[in-house]
Structure 1
Amino acid sequence: MRSIPLHFRGEISVKIAVLQRKDVREKVFGAHHLALLREWGEVALNEGSANPTEEEARSLIAGADVAITSWGCGPLTERVLDAAPNLKLVLHAAGTVKPIVTDAMWSRGVRVSNATEALGKGVAETALGFTIVSLKDMWRLSRDTREGGWDPGPRVREVYGLTIGVVGAGRAGSHYIKLMRNFDVRIVLYDPFVSPERARDMGAEKVELETLLRESDVVSIHLPSLPETHHMFDAARLATMKDDCVLINTARGSVIDEDALVAELSKGRLYACLDVTEPEPPAEDHPFRRLPNVTLTPHIAGAVNNGMGRIAQAVVDDLKAYTEGRPLSGEVRAEQMHLLA
């Protein structure tokens, strides 16, 4: 597909429609990001305080060559696309594109890109933080020292000589592997879509899920929410995990059978760091809120506050790549949709 020239210098006027509501845009895009977008042409902003309706999306996208979507944007239906017959590219300033993609986009040859790589870095960094702090047993030690204690106890461990299990090698999982390669640990990976050779190139050893659960000191989950992954971590699999294993979930709450996890955690032999639950938030009286071997955070993995700038930069970078005829870092193709979260 022919790309848009990188610099127009008055020769071509390209319209970029930013569809997300104003508060979402301002959380993601700084003034410098918008200035970069304006180097490519006219930028039309949604100044509304509510998510755009189909009619509002039609008005915003009218005549656009490029559209930028994000959280709160609805599907780009045939009717919406009719208002932008020259639309070539949709840049989704968020993770999954499922809320905005329609068959009409594929049939019209509109290319789609998202910011999962940018989000994945934040998720991986959060998982790394959980890994270090949990192995050091800092959660318990912080509580105990506030109550007058000063004994580290036997559960403090270094990130050394251990086996780190990674379940899923998408954007977040692969970056977590990259981060863990800075430590003297064995990294094992379960991902049916990754070959042993590819796993080796990443710095991991491909194994079956049961082997990973049986041998790992830390298990970090990086899976999409799909029918195939629903409650993948069930009672039988949780029971195979090593004593004192740290289970980290920064992916989707649906991949864990939470009743089974509560039963296993109640035995006191595992530790769980849960950034996601099913549903969110969990009920006020949910055992996750009171079990001493659970760290529960309110879905902070990924982009939060200043980390949102990563998303905006990913959008700018993919727009530049498109104009230069280079591959898009976050491109999503129609045949990949069934595998996305």
Structure 2
Amino acid sequence: MPERPQALFAMTPENVPRVFPPRVLARLRESVDIDPARVVRDFADPALRDVLARTEILVTGWGCPRLDGAALDAAPGLRAVLHSAGSVKGFVTPEVWRRGIAVSSAAAANAVPVAEYTLAMILLAGKDVLGARDRLRTGRVFPGWEIVPGIGNHGRRVGVVGASRIGRRLLQLLRPFDLRPSLTDPYVDEASAAALGVPLLSLDDLLRGSDIVTLHAPATPRTRRLIGRRELALMPDGAVLINTARGHLVDHEALIAELRTGRLTAVLDVTDPEPLPPDSPLYDLPNAFVTPHLAGSQGNEVSRLGSVVAQEAARLVAGEPPAHGVDPAVLEREA
């Protein structure tokens, strides 16, 4: 059997057994020589000098230290970074690309639960489940069965902001339902939108014509406060805003002011700041449904991320390129 390349974990140590439970770890170790008890928290740690010098593959995750020039000098044989989470923006530096190191990410796998969460919230919001639950909890009076005008998911218009991995996955999940999705994205043309099965609209037209607007754009200087006072005013009465992307896409002061009128509803899994201060009105407004950044991989879902890394390691050892390679040319505009 050929010698397996040396690999090393670089992430928060307690997440190693969560992302790589025994079955997934065994698959990874079929391809690489890696010790789950040896985890990098600091690339300058003298205790790791020898193993870093031999490392060809870094298996990274949440909490990975920054891969700057000094870190890369400590691992001169490094040829690949396999990230067992979403974005690599927080720790991959331009020096990684300059040295020709391949980078792979499990972002596509992490997109699955976020899209599922969003689908669930779209369907619940369309039935006014969140508002009805709050009214029932407050009034303690069952209203009796009745057909309530204005709710339901038959033909409800869903505007998707951003054809990111999550946005595209969501569009796939929406297909079996009697919903009317549309898309806005400055990097998508009409032919590409048609291939996704949706009309391409400007942001303003999408906001005006959607009952539910869900945000899946990346966090960049251009998208900061993408949804502000003017944009919120474009949304029709009774519309719902869902944000599972990044908190800074929304002007929270403007959103709170709009929510206080009772005209809109918001479902926020991400906020700005995060976490919210204890006195934030978003905790108490009846038309704000806030969850603690849990749409991404949780519990048994995180092993899916480890499985992607195990697959990528097998490809590298077989001489194949990563299936989920990160392209530095588009990294800035990826979610």
**Which among 142, 151, 162 is matched to residue 149 of structure 1?**
142
Going from structure 1 to structure 2, the CA distance change for 1:58 and 1:68 (only over 3 Å counts) comes to: farther
Q: CA deviation at 1:332?
A: 1.0
| 1:71 corresponds to 2:62 | yes
**Kept in 2: contact 1:19–1:60 (CA 8 A):** no
Distance 1:234 1:22 in 2: 39
Q: CA deviation at 1:249?
A: 0.3
Partner residue in 1 for 2:4: 13
**Which among 36, 40, 50 is matched to residue 45 of structure 1?**
36
Q: CA deviation at 1:214?
A: 0.3
**Which among 91, 94, 98 is matched to residue 100 of structure 1?**
91
Q: Which moved more, 1:326-335 or 1:304-313?
A: 326-335
Q: CA deviation at 1:324?
A: 4.0
1:182-223 C-alpha deviation (Å, 9 max, x unpaired):
112221100111121111111111110000000011111001
Task: Summarize the alignment of residues 1-341 of structure 1 with structure 2, pairs less than 5 Å apart.
Answer: 9=1, 11-47=2-38, 52-56=41-45, 58=49, 60-146=51-137, 147-151=140-144, 154=148, 157-341=151-335
Partner residue in 2 for 1:4: none
Q: CA deviation at 1:109?
A: 1.0
Distance 1:264 1:324 in 2: 55
Q: Secondary structure at the match of 2:241?
A: strand
Distance 2:80 2:160 in 1: 33
**Kept in 1: contact 2:126–2:156 (CA 8 A):** no
Q: Which moved more, 1:30-39 or 1:58-67?
A: 58-67
**Kept in 1: contact 2:244–2:295 (CA 8 A):** yes
Q: Secondary structure at the match of 2:35?
A: strand
5+ residue gaps in structure 1? Answer: 1-8
Distance 1:102 1:265 in 2: 40
Going from structure 1 to structure 2, the CA distance change for 1:138 and 1:58 (only over 3 Å counts) comes to: farther
Q: Name the aligned partner's letter for residue 3 of structure 2.
A: I
Distance 2:149 2:291 in 1: 22
What percentage of residue pairs aligned between the two structures are identical? Answer: 36
1:232-283 C-alpha deviation (Å, 9 max, x unpaired):
1010110000111111000000000001111111111111100000011111
Going from structure 1 to structure 2, the CA distance change for 1:260 and 1:21 (only over 3 Å counts) comes to: closer
Going from structure 1 to structure 2, the CA distance change for 1:55 and 1:195 (only over 3 Å counts) comes to: same
- RMSD across aligned positions (CA): 1.9
5+ residue gaps in structure 2? Answer: none
Distance 1:319 1:164 in 2: 38
Scaled by the length of structure 2, the TM-score of the pair is 0.93
1:17-75 C-alpha deviation (Å, 9 max, x unpaired):
11223202122111111101111131133546xx7122136555331121111111111
**Kept in 2: contact 1:274–1:295 (CA 8 A):** yes
Q: CA deviation at 1:330?
A: 2.5
Q: Secondary structure at the match of 1:106?
A: helix
Distance 2:149 2:266 in 1: 14
**Kept in 1: contact 2:215–2:245 (CA 8 A):** yes
Distance 2:202 2:234 in 1: 13
Distance 2:109 2:269 in 1: 18
